[in-house]
Chains A and B, each alone.
Chain A
Amino acid sequence: MTAPTDAFPFLSTLIFSPLAALVVLGLLRSEQVQRWWTLGFTTTAALFSLLLLPRFDSGTHAFQFVEHAAWIPALEINYTLGVDGISLLLVLLTTLIAPLCVLASWSYIKHRVREFLIALLLMETTMIGVFCALDTILFFVFWEAMLIPMALLIGVWGGPRRIYASLKFFIYTMAGSVFLLVALIALRLETGTFSLPATMGHPLGAGFQAWVFGAFFISFAIKVPMFPFHTWLPAAHVEAPTAGSVLLASILLKMGTYGFIRFALPITPHAVQEFAPYVMWLSVAAILYGGFAALAQSDLKKLVAYSSVSHMGFATLGIFALNSGGIEGATLVMINHGITTGGLFMVVGLIYERVHSREISAAAGIGRQMPIFATCFGVFCLSSLAFPGTNSFVGELLVLAGGFKISTLLIACVVPGIVAAAAYNLRMLQKLAYGGTHNPDHSKLLDLNFREIAMFAPLVIFVFWIGLNPQPILRLMHASVLNLVQQANPVLTQVAALP
C-alpha cells in the first residue's frame, strides 16, 4: 500500500521549510521586510507544492510521495508521510491559503508583527503535517501542536472578547482530542501498530469499533464543528483576526472532516455503517441550524461563521452517505468552502479595516464607492449560496445526489437550508452592494488596492474554474474515493468478491 515513489522528500520539505523560514524571520529587523519575506516564502511554498501535481499518479489510491523513517523505536512510532488524492488537494489548499493570509494581515496587524508571522508559519507546518501524516501519533502531534499557535493568533491579535474565544476554542478542541488519543492507543494495542495504512481494514470487533468510533466522533465532530458541538466556532471566528478566521474556516475545519475520511471510515467501517444515519441527521440539523442562525445575524463575521456550520453540514452529510458521489462531493465541498468562506472572511476583514465595524448596517451601500470590491464580494456570495457556475454548486449537487440514494426524506429536509443560504447571502450582498436610501457616508473610502486585488484574484479564479470545470479535481481524488467507499462498505466488498 505504501511504496516509495520519489526519492526527493517533497512532503518533509513542505512541512518543515516554514520552520526554516521562521528562523530567518527571527533575524529580520524591519517589519516590512518581515512581511515581504513571509509572503515570498509562502508563495514559493505554494508554487513548490504545485510540483506535486505532475508527479502524482491519479490512477491509483495508494499513498504517494511516501517517506518512512523510524522515529521513536521504543514506542514503535514512525515518521511516515504520504498523500492520496484527497489529502493532496487539502495540502494544495493549505499552501494556497497561507500567502493570502499574509496579504490579508498586511496592514491589519500593526503590533508584534514578527510574532504574528511566526505563528502563521507554525500553523502552516502543523496543517500540512496533519494532512500528510500516515502514522497515527505523528498525526496527533501535528493535530494538537496546532492549538498553540492558533490559540495565540486568536488570543493575542483578536477582537475585544478574544480571550474568551481563545480559551473556548482551546478547551473544546482539547477535550475532544484527548479521546482521540485514547482511541489511537487502543487501536495500537489491538492492531499492534501505529501505522495508519496498516490499521485501515484491520478486522476489529463490532463493540470495539463502536467505542473507537465514538472517540473519533467526539474529536472530529468538535473540530468540524457539527451541530451541537459548534458553539466554539462563532466565538472563535468573530474574535480572531482576519488571517485567523481564514485559517480556521479554510483549513482547520477541514481537519475534522478529513479525520472522518482518513480515520473513521476505513478503520471502523461497521460502526460507521451503524451510526451513519444519525450522523446524517445531525448534518441536516447543522445545515438548517447554521442557515437560519446566519439569517438572523447583523454582524457580518457571525453571519459567515454560522454559514460555515451550514456548509460543513454538507461535507459531513456527503461523507456519511458512504457512496462515491457523496464523498467526492464532500471533498469538493471542503475545498470550495476553503475558497469561498476564506474569501468571505477576507471581505469582512477588509470592510472592518475601512469602516471599523462589522455591522451590516454600518457598511450598507459600501459597494457604490467600491465597485471592484463589490464584484469580488458578489462572486463569493453567489458561490456561498451554490449558484450554478460557481464552485459550491458542483460540490453540493454531488452531495445531494449522493444523499438522495440514501434517503429522499433526508434530502427533502435539506431544502429549507438551501433556501436560507440564498436568503442570507443575497440579503448581505444587497445591503453591502447597494444598501437603502439612508446609507452611512462612504465617500472617503478607497476601492481595492493592488495588494487586495492580488489577495482576492486567486480565489475568484478558483471559484469559476472549479465551478465550470471540476473534472481535473474530481479525477485527482477519484481513485482514492472509490477505495475509501470500498473500505467503508466491507460487506459490499465481500459480496462482490463472491463467485
Chain B
Amino acid sequence: MNSAFLAFLPELVLLAGALGLFLAAIADASVRAARSITLVTAALVLIGSLFTFSQQIVLFDGAYRVDPFSQFLKTTLAFGFLCVGLLSGELRDIRGEAKPEYYLFLTLSVTGLVLLVSSIDLIPLVVALELSSFALYLLVPMRRERAQQQAQMESAIKYLMFGVAATGVMLFGMSYLFGLTGSTALPVILEKLPALLGSPLGIVGLALTLAGLLYKLAVFPFHFWTPDVYQGAANETASLIASLPKVGAVAVLVRLLSLATPDHATFALLLTTLAIASMVYGNLIALVQTDLKRLLGFSGIAHAGYALVGFVALDDAGFAAALYYICGYMLMVLACFVVICQVARDGTNVAINDLAGLHRRSPLLALTLLVGIFALAGLPPFVGFMGKLSLLTAALARGHLALVVITVINSAVAIYYYLRIVRAAFFGEGDERPIVIRLTPSTVALCVLLILGITALGVTPGSVIDTIGSSLASIRFPLPG
C-alpha cells in the first residue's frame, strides 16, 4: 500500500494542486496567487515524478500502470507544465474574472495527460483523454473579447465539435476491439490482437481507436481544428495546446502500437499515408501564412507527420525516435511561444511582421526564437536535427525509402517559412526607436532553460535516448498488481 501510494505521488500532487486552485477560484484569489499555486504544483510534480522514476507497479485492478515509460513521460509533462506555467504570467488576454479558473483548468488538463500515459485500460484511457480535452475546450473561450478578436468562441466550438467527433470514432473503434477480444484491458486486448489483425474488423477497430489520438496530435485528416484554435485561443492557451497533448498522444500511440507489434504491411501503409499527407499539407499551407500562431499550427501538422515516420517503422527504434522527437518538439514549440507571448504585450495575435527588429527590442527573445525556429527546421546542433536523424534512420532501416525522401524534401520546403520568421526577427531593422521588451526574471529563466534544453538534447542526446530505449523495453514486462 505504501509503495502504491508512493507510485501515485505525482498524480496526487496534481490533484491536490487542482483542489487548491479550485478553492482559490471560489475565494476569488488574485491571479498571482493562482499562478504561484500552479508553479509550486508543477515543481512538486516534477520532483515527484523524478522521485518515482524507478517505480514499477500496476494499480487499480490492472487499469493503471506505473513503469519507467510512464514515469519518463510524466517527468517530461511536468517539465512542460512548469514551462507553460512560467510562460503564462499575468494572463493579459484572459477575461479578468476567469483568471484563477484558467490555472485550475490548466492544471486539470495536465492531470488528464499524466493519467493518460499510465492508463492501460480502455475506460480510464478515455476518461483521462477527455479530462485533458475538456479542460482545453474550456480554456479556449476564456480569451478576452475585443475589436477584431472575436474568433475565440468559434474556435472553441470547432475544437469541441471535432474533438467530440474524434472521440466518437475512437469509442466506435474501441467497441470493435472489445467485441473481438472480450476485454477492455489493454494487456488482454494486445495479447489477442495480433491474431486478429489479419481480419478487416481488427484493422478497422485498431485504426479507428487511433483516431482519437491522431486528433490530439493533429495528424491529417484530423487536423482541421488546429490552425483556427491556435489563432483563436489566447497565446498562452495555444502554447499549452501545441505542446503537452502531443506528448501524451504519442505516448499512448506507442503503448497501443508497440504492444500490438503488428509487423504489418497494412498498418505501415496506413501510417505512411497519414504521415505523408500531414507533412505535405502542413508545410505547403504554412508557406503562405502571415499569422505566427497559425503558421505554427500548420507546422505542427507537419511535425505530427514527422513523428508518424517513426511509427511507420513499427519497431522499438522507431517508437523511441518518435518519443524523442516529440519531447524535443515540446521544447522547440514552447520556445517559439515564449517569444509570441512576450512580443504581444497586450495579448493580441502576432503577425510575422510584428517580429521586425526583435533583435534590437530584446536580444534574448530573438536568440530564443532563433534556436526554436532552427530546431524546428531540423538544423544541428539542436534537438530537431537529432530527432529527425533518428526518425529517418528508423524508417530507412525498415526500407521505407520513399517516405524518407518525401520527409527530407518536406523539411527542405519548410525551411522557407521558418526563414521568413528569422528574417523578420533578425534581418529587418524595425522602427527607428524600438520599444524595448522588458523581461521578468522568470521569463529570462525560462528562455535560458529552453535554449539550454534544446541545445543539450541535440548535442548530448545519449542519456535521453537510452532512457527512452530502456523505458520502452519495460512496457512489455508484466508487473505485480
Contact = CB atoms under 8 A, between A and B. Distances in A.
Determine if chain A interacts with chain B.
yes
Interface of A: 71-75, 137, 140-142, 144-145, 147-148, 151-152, 155-156, 162-163, 166-167, 170-171, 174-175, 178-179, 181-182, 185-186, 188-189
Contacts of A137: 389
Contacts of A182: 392, 396, 404-405, 408
Contacts, number: 87
A189 B396 contact: yes
Contacts of A148: 370, 374, 379
A145 B381 contact: yes
B480 interface: no
A209 to B, nearest CB: 15
B358 to A, nearest CB: 12
Name the residue among B390, B404, B415, B469 with the largest chain A CB count within 10 angstroms: B415
B90 interface: no
A144 B379 CA distance: 6
Q: Is the interface of B mostly helix, strand, loop or mixed?
A: helix
A141 B405 CA distance: 19
A73 B466 contact: yes
A142 B381 CA distance: 8
Contact of B427 (A140, A145, A163, A174): A163
6 tightest CB-CB pairs across the interface, nearest first?
Answer: A178-B408, A74-B465, A141-B380, A155-B427, A175-B412, A163-B427
24 contacts: A72-B461, A72-B465, A74-B462, A74-B469, A75-B465, A140-B380, A142-B380, A144-B379, A144-B380, A145-B380, A151-B422, A152-B426, A155-B423, A162-B427, A166-B427, A167-B419, A170-B415, A170-B419, A171-B412, A174-B412, A178-B408, A178-B409, A182-B392, A186-B396
Contacts of A141: 380-381, 385
B411 interface: yes
Contacts of B386: 72
A73 B466 CA distance: 8
B374 A185 contact: no
Interface of B: 320, 359, 370, 374, 379-381, 385-386, 389-390, 392-393, 396-397, 401, 404-405, 408-409, 411-412, 415-416, 419, 422-423, 426-427, 460-462, 465-466, 469
B462 A145 contact: no
B254 to A, nearest CB: 17
Contacts of A179: 408
B389 A171 contact: no
A174 B418 CA distance: 12
Nearest to A188: B393
A171 B419 contact: yes
Nearest to A155: B427
A174 B409 CA distance: 10
Given A152-B426, A182-B396, A145 B379 contact: yes
Contacts of B412: 171, 174-175, 178
A189 to B, nearest CB: 6
B436 to A, nearest CB: 16
Nearest to B379: A144
